[in-house]
């Protein structure tokens, strides 16, 4: 027999580690309490974690250590439990009844859990027991019975300790069908009641926005669901804003926590709300079958998307939600458009359109150039321009000819004027000649005057009044 060593008392110190700093705390050696859901360190390591320690009460540590002390391995503990089960005859033949959940078949063996089917026991506090029907005994244990979730059964078998999982397991030798389980009956009655009220009707479904900018998430901050949603959002649309409201998704307090989360997020004006939790056994999803949770989703003003459990798990919240997806990952993919792919597609389309337009424009330019050349050849404006140029040339030539003719005539006129001027009486007066008049009449002959008469001699710069003394005629021929 293995003897347990005496271990000294140690304490764990509760740490207030924000979600975004958990990796840093874990790297320093902080530990996570899976039962009570908080981070802690041992009392002799608190100096490393003062930034997260608020001086709260110490809690008895789940593990202890000291120098020189001997620690049991997990295998040691499990073998101790296994031996205790094997040595106690009370576990050799066990009769138990319950409702089957989480049934699966692998290599001919049936694996499932059973839970209490007593309606007087709260659903969130009902205990579960792991069961197995091995393939070599399945035919005799089941007798052609079809095993399904929701069946209430009576089981006869041997209770063992499963060292691999560290839990008790009932190896079933015989299974008796006791009918539909009470939980399944109550769930179907509730579903029928809500359906009769029209809560699941499609006309009450609110439309999901195509490009949500702000998404509220009602889920556990420590589960895989929020990590899956954040990963999908980062890959598909890094610009979308996610807001988490941490809730308890399993246990007696889960329904009220989920209800509070939905109501709070519904007040904040987000584009939509995702209610989700990661995978788990079907029995772990009981909070999402709660009537008040369903009614809270129905009364919400914000579109609500459900992403609860696995692909084949349907809860009542899936029926009332405005859109249902099998898992948190599928929910994120369904409501967050792949903007990065859209951007790349738009860039490709833009490049393709640019190339097509440039090709079309190039072809059109060539055609336009050809048409332009033809128009230039037959364009009336070009013909008129040519005629106009010829007309301008002729006008210029005509102007030159007229100018030359005018100048020639001017010159001839000037010569004539000069000639006339040279032959005029006035011009001769300048050269010493005079012009005789009597009684304002020219004297043209000696016969026109007589001695004693008064005559006027006009010269170029005036006149002389004089008298005729005598007259004489020239001989003929002179």
- The position carrying tokens 């008129």 is 384
14: Cβ contacts below 8 Å, ≥ 6 apart = 38, 39, 40, 56, 57, 59
Q: What is the mean pLDDT of residues 401-406?
A: 89
- Domain limits of the chain? 11-71, 75-186, 198-337, 341-378, 427-467
For 23-27, 53-57, 105-109, 316-320, which range has the lowest pLDDT when averaged over its residues?
A: 53-57
Predicted confidence (pLDDT) per residue in 170-179, tens digit: 999 989 888 7
User: How many angstroms separate the Cα of 237 from the Cα of each of 271, 305, 333?
Assistant: 15, 18, 10
- The pTM assigned to this predicted structure is 0.47
pLDDT class of 3 with cuts at 50, 70, 90: very low
Contact (CB, 8 A) for 460 and 429? yes
Q: Which tens digits make up the pLDDT trace of 241-286?
A: 999 999 998 888 899 999 999 999 999 999 999 999 877 666 678 8
What is the DSSP annotation of 193-236?
Answer: HHHHTTTT-GGGPPPPPSS-SEEEEEE-TTSHHHHHHHHHHHHH
What SS3 class is residue 108? coil
What residues contact 102, with CB distance under 8 A and at least 6 apart? 111, 112, 113, 149, 281, 282, 283
CATH (one of 1.10.3720.10, 2.60.40.10, 3.40.50.1220, 3.40.50.261) for 198-337: 3.40.50.261
Answer yes or no: is pLDDT of 5 > 60: no
Average pLDDT, the chain: 83
Which residue do the tokens 């049936």 mark? 110
So what CATH class is 75-186?
Answer: mainly beta
Name the CA dihedral angle for 420, 426, 430, 431, rounded to a multiple of 10 degrees.
60
Tens of pLDDT, residue by residue over 83-133, are 888 888 889 889 998 889 889 999 999 999 998 866 555 555 568 899 999
């Amino acid at each position: 027999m293995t003897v347990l060593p005496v271990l000294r008392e140690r304490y764990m110190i509760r740490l207030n580690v924000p979600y975004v700093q958990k990796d840093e705390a874990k790297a320093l050696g902080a530990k996570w309490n899976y039962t009570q859901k908080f981070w802690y360190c041992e009392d002799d390591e608190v100096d490393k974690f003062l930034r997260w320690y608020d001086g709260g009460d110490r809690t008895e540590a789940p593990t202890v250590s000291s120098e020189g002390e001997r620690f049991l391995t997990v295998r040691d503990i499990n073998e101790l439990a296994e031996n205790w089960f094997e040595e106690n005859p009370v576990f050799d033949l066990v009769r138990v009844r319950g409702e089957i959940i989480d049934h699966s078949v692998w290599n001919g063996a049936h694996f499932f859990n059973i839970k209490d089917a007593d309606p007087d026991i709260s659903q969130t506090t009902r205990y579960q027991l792991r069961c197995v029907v091995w393939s070599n005994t399945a035919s005799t244990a089941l007798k052609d019975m079809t095993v399904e979730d929701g069946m209430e059964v009576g089981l006869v078998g041997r209770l063992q300790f499963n060292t691999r999982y560290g839990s008790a397991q009932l190896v079933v030798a015989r299974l008796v069908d006791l009918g539909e389980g009470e939980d399944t009956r109550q769930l179907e009655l509730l579903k029928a009641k809500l359906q009769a009220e029209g809560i699941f009707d499609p006309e009450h479904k609110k439309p999901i926005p195509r490009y949500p900018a702000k998404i509220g998430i009602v889920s556990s901050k420590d589960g895989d669901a929020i990590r899956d949603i954040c990963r999908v959002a980062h890959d598909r649309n890094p610009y979308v804003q996610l807001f988490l409201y941490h809730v308890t998704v399993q246990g007696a307090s889960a329904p009220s926590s989920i209800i509070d989360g939905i109501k709070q997020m519904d007040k904040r004006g987000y584009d939509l709300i995702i209610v989700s939790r990661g995978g788990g056994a079907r029995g772990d999803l009981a909070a999402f079958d709660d009537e008040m949770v369903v009614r809270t989703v129905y009364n919400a003003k914000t579109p609500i998307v459900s992403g609860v459990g696995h692909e084949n798990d349907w809860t009542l919240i899936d029926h009332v939600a405005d859109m249902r997806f099998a898992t948190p990952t599928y929910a994120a993919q369904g409501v967050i458009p792949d903007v990065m792919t859209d951007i790349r597609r738009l860039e490709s389309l833009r490049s393709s359109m640019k190339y097509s337009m440039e090709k079309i424009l190039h072809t059109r330019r060539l055609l336009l150039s050809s048409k332009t050349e033809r128009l230039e050849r037959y364009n009336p404006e070009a013909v008129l321009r040519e005629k106009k140029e010829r007309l301008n040339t002729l006008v210029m030539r005509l102007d030159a000819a007229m100018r030359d003719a005018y100048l020639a005539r001017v010159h001839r006129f000037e010569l004539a004027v000069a000639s006339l001027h040279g032959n005029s009486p006035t011009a001769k007066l300048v050269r010493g000649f005079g012009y005789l008049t009597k009684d304002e009449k020219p004297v043209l002959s000696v016969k026109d005057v007589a001695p004693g008469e008064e005559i006027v001699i006009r010269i170029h710069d005036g006149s002389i009044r004089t008298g005729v003394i005598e007259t004489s005629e020239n001989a003929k021929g002179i």
